């Protein structure tokens, strides 16, 4: 099955109307957000790999054409045109894993207007979920103080595709592993996991369950200790671990999933150390997000690994990014909307990154000392760069994130990194606004 029909109907009806009226001029559309979500000081761009795969392999299958024919909506000439249609334009993009801010385009599509228009919905869809989750995961990473973070979210993400994208996006933004086996296969992300409470309850006693699991997986000796009484569970885990130690194996850790995690983790650390298990790790899961992680670590919780699920996998406190894909140039002329509350800057743009601010400029403008963020990915329908591996994307994020001011990364305080608008771009905005005013508001 192709992804050509992963779009809103109006993208196809506009495409047909463009062609029917001879509209084939080159258009430039940019993807950006005007404002950050209330609880975000930055966003992390992700999803480029999906966009590239989509554009590179785009085509309408015979079955797609048959379905469109069955709608009795489109003329035969248009359906014949779609049979041979593929991407012929340019794509410029920031590197995946780059933090970005309001009004900064993360990508631009340049193509005949009917073509660039068609890709709007799919590009928004593919970049939205990945950027949303990478941005949430980055907030957890920012307070993790070097502790290990693992994605446990699959069972509550919004569908199968979302579960895969969440694991990838969280890994980009500093997580180290996932419980999602398919994501591990597809992306090479390390996979982790032991047992659920149901496994413990299916045996007569907790000790029997511990011994049974360690019999099968003696080298994956992480025991879930909070099914019944957590303190007694820790005691029983230590008892079984001492038996394991006599056979030459070691207890790798325990997992807490409920209760007063702060006090229980401190008690567990004390008990484990007392019996010689100083290297055993304490793993915590259950209802965690950046606030809970920061609260626990600030209070001195001796936690080594956090399993983060629902609240990151759904970005529960901020469940969407107001991404837009807007026409900024048509037939070589800058254009823009002037609707109330929907400000945008006309023309093709570049983003320059400096140490403590960004600068938004017109595309051909130089900004000495800054690093240009938008780079060519496709030219005339052909990919011109090899995309980095997922590990390289992750390393890029970690490097760029390290460079951001601490105030930007603060999870409690609202702070927006300055984004300057160059004089040339401001002049272009003023001139375009005046021209629209004179033409449309007479």
Alpha-helix runs per DSSP H in 196-327: 197-201, 206-216, 230-246, 261-274, 290-298, 310-313
Q: What is the pLDDT of residues 378-430, one digit of tens each?
A: 999 999 999 999 999 999 999 999 999 999 999 999 998 999 999 999 999 99
Rounded (10°) CA dihedral 135, 138, 142, 144: 140
Nearest CA-CA partner of 106 in 323, 366, 315, 334: 323
8 Å CB contact between 387 and 49: yes
Count, in order, helices (H) and strands (E) of the chain.
17, 19
Q: Mean pLDDT per segment of 10 residues, for the chain of length 442 residues?
A: 92 98 98 96 98 98 98 98 98 98 98 98 98 98 98 96 98 98 98 95 97 91 95 96 87 95 98 96 97 98 98 97 97 93 94 98 96 98 98 98 97 95 98 89 60
Alpha-helix runs per DSSP H in 326-378: none
pLDDT at 1: 65
- The whole-angstrom separation of Cα 93 and Cα 236 is 54
What average pLDDT does the chain have? 96
8 Å CB contact between 11 and 115: no
Reduced to 3 states, what is the DSSP secondary structure of residue 369?
coil
- The whole-angstrom separation of Cα 166 and Cα 45 is 13
pLDDT at 441: 62
Tell me the pairing of strands 419-421 and 358-362.
parallel
- The whole-angstrom separation of Cα 342 and Cα 103 is 11
pLDDT at 110: 98
Assigned token pair, 423: 């004089």
Q: How far is CA 417 from CA 29, 77, 239, 263, in A?
A: 25, 50, 53, 38
Spatial neighbors of 223 by CB under 8 A, at least 6 apart, are: 194, 210, 213, 214, 233, 237, 240, 241, 251, 253, 254, 255
- The whole-angstrom separation of Cα 158 and Cα 160 is 7
- The whole-angstrom separation of Cα 201 and Cα 210 is 11
Q: How far is CA 265 from CA 252, 271, 291, 308, 429, in A?
A: 15, 10, 17, 17, 57
């Amino acid at each position: 099955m192709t992804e050509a029909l992963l779009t809103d109907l109006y993208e196809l009806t506009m495409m047909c109307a463009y062609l029917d009226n001879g509209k084939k001029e080159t258009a430039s559309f940019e993807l950006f957000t005007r404002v950050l979500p209330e609880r975000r000081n930055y966003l992390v761009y992700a999803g480029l790999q999906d966009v590239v795969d989509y554009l590179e392999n785009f085509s309408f299958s015979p079955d797609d054409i048959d379905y469109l024919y069955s709608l009795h909506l489109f003329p035969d000439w248009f359906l014949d045109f779609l049979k041979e249609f593929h991407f012929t334009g340019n794509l410029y993009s920031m590197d995946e894993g780059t933090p970005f801010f309001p009004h900064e385009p993360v990508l631009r599509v340049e193509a005949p207007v009917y073509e660039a228009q068609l890709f709007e919905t799919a590009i928004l869809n593919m970049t939205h979920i990945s950027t949303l989750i990478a941005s949430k995961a980055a907030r957890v990473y920012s307070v993790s103080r070097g502790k290990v973070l693992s994605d446990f979210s699959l069972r509550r993400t919004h569908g199968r595709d979302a579960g895969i994208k969440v694991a990838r996006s969280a890994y980009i933004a500093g997580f180290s592993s996932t419980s999602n086996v398919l994501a591990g296969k597809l992306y090479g992300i390390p996979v982790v996991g032991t047992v659920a409470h149901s496994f413990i309850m299916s045996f007569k006693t907790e000790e029997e369950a511990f011994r049974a699991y360690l019999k099968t997986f003696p080298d994956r000796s992480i025991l879930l200790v909070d099914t019944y009484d957590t303190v007694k569970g820790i005691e029983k885990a230590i008892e079984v671990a001492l038996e394991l130690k006599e056979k030459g194996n070691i207890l790798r850790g325990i997992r807490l999933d409920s209760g007063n995690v702060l006090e229980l983790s401190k008690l567990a650390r004390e008990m484990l150390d007392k019996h010689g298990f100083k290297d055993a790790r304490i793993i915590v899961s259950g209802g965690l997000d950046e606030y809970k992680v920061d609260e626990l670590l600030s209070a001195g919780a001796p936690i080594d690994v956090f399993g983060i699920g629902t609240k990151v996998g759904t970005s529960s406190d901020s469940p969407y990014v107001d991404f837009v894909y807007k026409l900024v140039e048509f037939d070589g002329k800058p254009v823009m909307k002037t609707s109330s509350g929907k400000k945008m800057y006309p023309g093709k743009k570049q983003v320059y990154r400096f140490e403590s601010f960004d600068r938004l400029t017109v595309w051909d403008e130089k900004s000495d000392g800054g690093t240009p963020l938008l780079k060519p990915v496709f030219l005339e329908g052909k990919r011109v760069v090899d995309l980095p591996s997922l590990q390289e994307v992750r390393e890029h994020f970690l490097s760029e994130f390290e460079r951001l001011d601490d105030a930007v990364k603060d999870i409690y305080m609202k702070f927006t990194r300055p984004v300057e608008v160059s004089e040339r771009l401001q002049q272009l905005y003023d001139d375009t606004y005046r021209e629209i005013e004179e033409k449309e508001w007479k």
